[in-house]
Homo-oligomer: A and B are copies of this chain.
């Protein structure tokens, strides 16, 4: 494809993202110095339309980019816009104030939505990719226990365990010690293996309690692989001037379905690898008029989970990609320090 046609496509996308209105050949030569007349541009636009990169909403209107056009724009024409030094500084200081993991996640989602003016999505660090830091058992009156699993990312899972009989503090102490010896420093995915045979160390009358507790641990490890997601900045969906406004209902509904969100993230990517899904490239029906920019985050080259933003296909891809990547990097660093 010739250089100028690409320049025309880039100009169309730029203008359309800014004005939200179909852009005509005359406006294009006025706003960009393309060095040729509007008639020439018309010919190029005709060719671009032929190839499916742009389309006209109706005969006497300008052109708007198609999903395929945005795809070409993102792939070929556009480099990620890096954050400025002050912006990076601001991100860092804001995130550094977080007191715990919940706080980190909430601040991240606020940051992303404010930087990109889009809806932000942040997945909690995956348990499956985390390491057990500590297991705690707390007596909670009568025959109940509180089981607490702490991951190296700061993520905490808790469960109440109902036992048939109450148990002694000595027993709890013993079990706690053995659990931590077996599990500390292990990947959560290896927890089931490490617990095999653990109850053999206990007296016969203690084994039912031990087994109940182990079962709860396994259940937590397994069911919590259904990951948690934080959503923020939904008010951006309703920004005035958005043609998106009409579709805001279905989109909000989709965002409430966390299952959908997880499908949206797809496979957790390696840290720093940006993924852009444009319009129909999204498998989720309600979001086919939206674009999603995601990136894996984590410490080192180990991905912990995914974060990203969601907005109308007409969005500032360069800026969004830059913001998402910058935030993901800092979050990765912070979780490493935990």
Contacts and interface: CB of A to CB of B under 8 A. Distances in A.
Contact of A148 (B150, B157, B223): B150
Contacts of A156: 148, 156, 158
A14 interface: no
A120 B243 CA distance: 27
Contacts of A160: 99-100, 154, 338
Interface in A130-165: 133-134, 136, 138, 140, 146, 148, 150, 154, 156-160
B146 A138 contact: no
A168 to B, nearest CB: 17
Contacts of A256: 232-235
Contact of A252 (B146, B238, B253): B238
Interface residues of A, number: 35
Given A100-B158, A158-B154, A249 B253 contact: no
Contacts of A250: 235
A238 B233 contact: no
A134 B138 CA distance: 7
Nearest to A101: B158
A183 B101 CA distance: 24
Main secondary structure of the interface of A (DSSP, over half): mixed
Interface string A219-231: 0100100000000
A138 B158 contact: no
A329 to B, nearest CB: 20
A184 B234 CA distance: 41
Nearest to A100: B158
A99 B215 CA distance: 14
Q: Which of A220, A240, A249 has the most CB of B within 10 A?
A: A249
A239 interface: yes
B134 A338 contact: no
A236 to B, nearest CB: 8
A237 interface: yes
A248 interface: yes
Interface of A: 99-101, 133-134, 136, 138, 140, 146, 148, 150, 154, 156-160, 220, 223, 232-235, 237-240, 248-250, 252-253, 255-256, 338
24 contacts: A99-B220, A100-B157, A100-B159, A100-B160, A101-B158, A133-B140, A133-B146, A134-B138, A136-B148, A140-B338, A148-B148, A154-B158, A154-B160, A232-B256, A235-B249, A235-B250, A235-B252, A235-B255, A235-B256, A237-B252, A238-B238, A238-B249, A240-B249, A248-B248
